Amino acid sequence: MARAGLCSRREAETWIAAGRVKLNGKVLATPAVTVTEKDKIEVDGNPLQGRERTRLWLFHKPGGLVTTNKDPEGRPTVFGALPDDLPRVLSVGRLDINTEGLLLLTNDGGLSRVLELPSTGWLRRYRVRAHGQITQAQLDTLKEGVAVNGVLYGPIEALIDREQGGNVWLTLAFREGKNREVKEVLGSLGLEVNRLIRVSYGPFQLGDLRPGEVREVRGRTLREQLGEKLIAEANADFDAPILNQTSSVQRGMGETKKPAAKPRREKAVRGQVKNETLDRLTTRLETEKKPPKRHGKPKTGAFKSGNPKTGNPKSGTQGADGKFEGNRPHKGGTGRAAPRGGKR
């Protein structure tokens, strides 16, 4: 069930205990059963589809989404925000509700389980904004690991990027990814995390992915990045067909997806997307603004043709012959160039 991308292993055990799963027509009482391709498995009366090709997607998780199929508190979920053309998928690990950035999604439960393990050696890299004062020497103490409230956290590489008022921007990299690790570790140093963005997971980068956008990793690239060892451990299958799912987006029972908003024109949102990307992936001062645009009449200059041509002599704007001739209009003038050989 997990390998088919229907649910996680833990959820599969819960569904079996609830009597929702049948094996060859009989309700399954325990998950400790060996099955083969010849066995018929049903979940809620629906036959489990065959093995599908292993696939992986990159998702830019916005803040405010819970990484679960159905939230008991009714909060919006990651899976409810995914496009309708996506097959059933599982997340590789989780991100807290307020954490933003890269979340890996896969239709292969075996791959999801393997990629969550610290034994892969994959670095998880974060950009962090925190309130408080810190020195690089204090952050360097995290290289050997640290124990916080009885929980031992592994080595963490931490660098100061920029100080911004009462906040500081940091880059953190580690290989474990325990629950609330960044907040707990930095909290032990007197910092209060107020923004957390995951920018990479192993070889996969957030890059220019917009908030809420999903991008599939090409099969060849995925095989190369995983390598033979991880492919074998996950029992990934790159030869199986891509199956059409009747229910394209995985949701909890009774959860429905709100109608998608009408798409906006690219030109109308291009500037907003650019600003969001810069704000999320850099540590530039939030108060920085672009210099105001200057308005006024353009300068003109005379070219060999004898006709005035709009342009700025200093910018390299030239005539067809590549040369600039004539007097530049000085301040307070009319802005018109004198004709060749004529009188003013």
Which of 63, 65, 67 has the alpha carbon at shortest distance from 75? 65
- Distance, CA of 26 to CA of 6 (rounded, Å): 20
Residue 337 exposed, middle or buried by CB count within 10 Å (0-12, 13-18, 19+): buried
- Distance, CA of 28 to CA of 41 (rounded, Å): 9
The one-letter amino acid at 222:
L
- Distance, CA of 124 to CA of 217 (rounded, Å): 18
- Distance, CA of 137 to CA of 156 (rounded, Å): 13
Catalytic residue among 39, 71, 96, 237: 96
- 96 in catalytic set: yes
Half-sphere CA count of 193, side-chain side, radius 13 A = 23
- Distance, CA of 110 to CA of 120 (rounded, Å): 14
CA distances from 85 to 58, 249, 265 (A): 15, 8, 21
Which of the residues are catalytic? Answer: 96
